[in-house]
Structure 1
Amino acid sequence: MALVGLLVGVGIIMVQSAGQVTAIAAGGNPLGGVLRQGAYALIGMSLALVISQMSLVKLRRLAWPLLLAGLVLQLLVYTPLGYEAGGNRNWLRLGPISAQPAEFMKFVLLLWVSTVLAAKRPLLGKWKHVVIPILPVVAASMCINVLGGDLGTLVIIAALVFGCLYFVQVKWRILGAIAVVAVLGIVLMTLIKPNRVFRVAQFFEIDCLNDPEHAAGMCWQSLNGFWALANGGLFGSGIGNSRAKWQWLPEAETDFIFAIVGEEVGLLGAMTLILVFVAICIVLVAIMARCTDVFSVSVMGGAVAWFGTQMVVNVSVVLGFVPVLGVPLPFVSAGGTSLISGLMAVGLVLACVRDQAARDQAARDQAALDQAEPAPAQGTSFT
């Protein structure tokens, strides 16, 4: 999809711009951002191409093995191979390679949930066939994330799964029950960590824009995000001219890259970026409306929920509407696992598009054959 390619290109430019100062300060390669993000993009696009050429039958066969592999990788973060970053223990380090298994699980769950829903198509009106095995498996993955302190990924996974279920037209009473369980689960998982409760409580109690007492403390990141957006004005300060990236704004190239986008290309550029995400979601819904296969509908619906929710959460954090959750901006923020996983999902979407195109062509060919067949000859009547 050209729009996704546009986001990836913007992401490479903005990651280089946002991370250059940090790289130089750390004694690294000033071009490291563009080289790493470009390499991740190349890997992701190559995998997307491979996936897009696979049949849906082969992809469904991979769902269960990939699910098992994904859960094992998630559990490995609690071994010596795992390490903590940004307060979350959700990283693996294998030599020079670091990865976030939770990001990979988004793609895995998109594929696996769609496979299960397609297999249970005649039974989707019965709650036990929707809840089992989807709810236990998804809950297990989410619990592993939360134990490592990653609440943001939990929210995105919940939205992704809900999108799959909603667009395949699971009954509202079943969706409602699942939504209630999900909300209660998120609340419970928030409450079991005292520091998480403190952060949420402080978010609602403190007005960072009008409370100088916390300007150098918990409001530092949010305030510098606000100031970056304000400094950009309508047209921006120009690519590479951000002030916030000079180590004023933590996580400038990852979770807060939208603030750097707003500062360097202005309000118009930032709004254009949001509109590109909206356009991608509209295109996916339009394609989904033509799909006749439950698997394809679920994939499209889950992708819309994934990309749309993640964009909204990321931008809302920068704007101060929700607490900092550590959610990257899809296809734009720095991060190899996130970018590769998102591009793999795009490859899955393209595989569904190719399959539906083949179905449509077969239907047209059959219709043409039916029309071309001569009418049966009228028999001669003898009286």
Structure 2
Amino acid sequence: MSKRVGISAVPRSRTTAPIRATSSKPKASKIQFESLFATIRAIFDRVYRAQSNEFYTLLGFTLFLVAFGVLMVLSASSIDSLIANNNALSIGAKQFGYAIIGLIGMTILSAIPVRVWQHRSVVILLASLSVQFLVIFFGKEVNGNKNWISIFGFTFQPSEFLKLAVIIALSAMLAKNVDYFHISKTWTPPIVVSAAALGLVLAGRDLGTAIVMAIAFLGLMVLAGMPTNLALKVVGIASVAGILLMSQSSSRWGRILAWLNPSAPDPNGYNWQSEHGEWAIAAGRLFGVGLGESKMKWSWIPEVENDFIFAIIAEEFGLIGALVVIVMFVLLARALVRILNRTQDTYSRFIVAGVTVWLVFQALINIAVVLRLLPVLGVPLPLISAGGSSLISTLGAIGLVLSIERSNHLGFGAVRSASRNRKAR
């Protein structure tokens, strides 16, 4: 008779360990991570969901330029980073961190109603002017410009944030007196505020930033409705003051003369940066030498990851890549103009106008300098060049515009809803 063998009768190997019950509870760190991710996702859904096409268009071009900028800073700065810190990724990693901070700031500002800044415009302006005033006494000098402050190991450029602060203040002044633009005295406070901001920046000898600020502030006032004769007077006075200031600096005047006479002897090397930038563009030809393969970034171009990053873009991606970047800025400007045309509120319109003039002309100046259409001015390419202050302030400005477009979308939605209700009745 055969013996029936059941499951219980199967002998257990001595080497087989008994099966122990495992805990089904997830780890605490995993729970915290999932909770944080869910919170971030909820915030982004609330901030960026169900917005207008113009909102997403501006956001999309901004994200593309920021991501491309981080990539190009990593490539352009690799040699300088290796020489300075024995780490080829140091400057690129910093730029990535600045991008994260700037995008978080943009998200927060896009969720705050723009009226909050209008009511606090005077406080914002005075605080920004005060910090810029401190630069004169406690500022850090870099490449001949004393326009940085270093606190606890962190260095930032107050003038980059002063641009946005003055645009907020000028917009509030102009919106308050929009019915009195025909009176010359109405324009005195905006002109005085602009002159004070420019004077503090020029005290630190940062001519490039001052030029961008002057164009942004005057452009805002002209678009707001400044009389033509008054605008021409302001331009004339500013031009004379600029020439006088440049004549007081031998290096600035030397750069201008070298730019006007590129074939003349250049014993001081004023054309060195421009010439090598031009060589980088020529080396790129049509399709470029490839990402990371630039030769001019090997200490041939000073400030290669900052003022002259467009030259490395043209070298590594060729004429095609350079044109794509230019087209992206054109599309960014188009998105800003479309939002400007959709904006009905006067104060908000002035904000969008000021930010548009600022970003468009700063990009134009940077690219024109690299192409040797202008003398070297030390102006970064918005959203792309290395520099935390420039990137964070620019993203903050775009955050304000996104906030304004959010209000536009809500307004148009309310109008459409009211129209549907009337038709239903």
The TM-score with structure 1 as length reference comes to: 0.91
Question: How far does residue 58 in structure 1 lie from its aligned partner after superposition?
Answer: 0.8
**How far apart are the structure 2 equivalents of 1:28 and 1:79?**
33
Distance 1:196 1:217, change over 3 A: closer
Q: What amino acid is aligned across from residue 320 of structure 1 in structure 2?
A: R
**Equivalent in 26, 34, 37 of residue 95 of structure 2:** 37
Q: Which residue of 2 is the match for residue 299 of structure 1?
A: 351
**How far apart are the structure 1 equivalents of 2:253 and 2:273?**
19
Contact 2:212 2:362 in 1 (8 A): yes
**How far apart are the structure 1 equivalents of 2:415 and 2:235?**
38
Does 166-175 or 336-345 show the bigger shift? Answer: 166-175
Q: Which residue of 2 is the match for residue 119 of structure 1?
A: 176
Q: CA RMSD in A?
A: 1.7
**How far apart are the structure 1 equivalents of 2:103 and 2:153?**
22
Is 1:110 aligned to 2:162, yes or no?
no
Question: How far does residue 369 in structure 1 lie from its aligned partner after superposition?
Answer: 4.4
Identity of aligned residues (%): 35
Is 1:73 aligned to 2:125, yes or no?
no
Question: How far does residue 259 in structure 1 lie from its aligned partner after superposition?
Answer: 0.5
Question: How far does residue 28 in structure 1 lie from its aligned partner after superposition?
Answer: 3.6
Contact 1:15 1:333 in 2 (8 A): yes
**How far apart are the structure 1 equivalents of 2:114 and 2:176?**
13
Contact 1:164 1:302 in 2 (8 A): yes
Q: Which residue of 1 is the match for residue 60 of structure 2?
A: 2
Does 66-75 or 230-239 show the bigger shift? Answer: 66-75
Paired residue total: 367
**Equivalent in 387, 394, 417 of residue 342 of structure 1:** 394
Q: Which residue of 2 is the match for residue 333 of structure 1?
A: 385
Q: Which residue of 2 is the match for residue 51 of structure 1?
A: 109
Q: Pairwise mapping of residues 247-286 of structure 1 onto structure 2 (< 5 A)?
A: 247-286=299-338
1:246-282 CA-to-partner distances (Å, cap 9, x unmatched) read: 1111110000000000000001100110111111111
**How far apart are the structure 1 equivalents of 2:325 and 2:389?**
21
| Structure 1 unaligned regions, length at least 5 | 374-383
**How far apart are the structure 2 equivalents of 1:215 and 1:30?**
32
Q: Which residue of 2 is the match for residue 380 of structure 1?
A: none
| Structure 2 unaligned regions, length at least 5 | 1-58
Q: Pairwise mapping of residues 113-192 of structure 1 onto structure 2 (< 5 A)?
A: 113-129=170-186, 131-192=187-248
Question: How far does residue 126 in structure 1 lie from its aligned partner after superposition?
Answer: 2.1
Q: Which residue of 2 is the match for residue 15 of structure 1?
A: 73
Contact 1:55 1:351 in 2 (8 A): yes
Contact 2:136 2:203 in 1 (8 A): no
Question: How far does residue 75 in structure 1 lie from its aligned partner after superposition?
Answer: 1.3
The TM-score with structure 2 as length reference comes to: 0.82
Contact 1:12 1:33 in 2 (8 A): no
Q: Which residue of 2 is the match for residue 196 of structure 1?
A: 252
Question: How far does residue 372 in structure 1 lie from its aligned partner after superposition?
Answer: 4.8
**How far apart are the structure 2 equivalents of 1:355 and 1:83?**
40
Q: Which residue of 2 is the match for residue 376 of structure 1?
A: none
**How far apart are the structure 2 equivalents of 1:214 and 1:177?**
36
Is 1:226 aligned to 2:278, yes or no?
yes
Q: Which residue of 2 is the match for residue 96 of structure 1?
A: 153
Question: How far does residue 371 in structure 1 lie from its aligned partner after superposition?
Answer: 4.6
Secondary structure (helix, strand or coil) at the match of 1:254 reads coil
Contact 2:355 2:397 in 1 (8 A): yes
Q: Which residue of 1 is the match for residue 361 of structure 2?
A: 309
**How far apart are the structure 1 equivalents of 2:421 and 2:232?**
46
Question: How far does residue 324 in structure 1 lie from its aligned partner after superposition?
Answer: 0.8
Query: Looking at CA atoms only, which structure, 1 or 2, has the larger radius of gyration?
Result: 2
Distance 1:178 1:214, change over 3 A: closer
